[in-house]
Amino acid sequence: MSTAKVLPLLEPGGVAPCCPPLTERPLTAEEAERSAVMFKALGDPVRLRLFSLVASYEGGEACVCDISDVGVSQPTVSHHLKKLKEAGLLSSERRGTWVFYRVEPAVLAAMGQLLTRAGAA
């Protein structure tokens, strides 16, 4: 089955953001637990590059073969993509021989919201 278990950082199927901006009020322990998963996933240079490669690819998705040149071995690339997927930041789909990854736009928006000052821009 291609639908691996992932941590839903947004309500499943919905776009409800997990948490208010970090500046609005203190995060609860549980909110912090959920949000930290996303930040942690982007907290590795290789993963951040992989994520950026997928996010900036034409059509919003990229085959693994298109983004594998980040200086680590193929198993390591696969491992990092899995981590990003488990964090809810990417989703994947197999098409023939290739596997395509795409960004979950709602999660990206939720993260951006966390870092946006409540009142200001």
d(CA 8, CA 15): 11
Tokens of 9: 């950082």
* Closest alpha carbon to 50 in 35, 79, 73, 70: 70
Does residue 39 interact with a second copy by CB under 8 A?
yes
Listed residue (107, 98, 92) closest to 42, CA to CA: 107
Q: Is residue 81 at the binding interface for a second copy, with CB under 8 A as the rule?
A: no
Q: Establish if 53 lies at the interface with a second copy (CB under 8 A).
A: yes
Residues of this chain that bind DNA (CB under 7 A):
4, 40, 43-44, 46-47, 63-65, 68, 72-83, 92, 94, 96-99
Residues of this chain that bind a second copy (CB under 8 A):
22-27, 29, 32-33, 35-36, 39-49, 51-53, 55-56, 70-71, 103, 105, 108-109, 111-112, 115-117
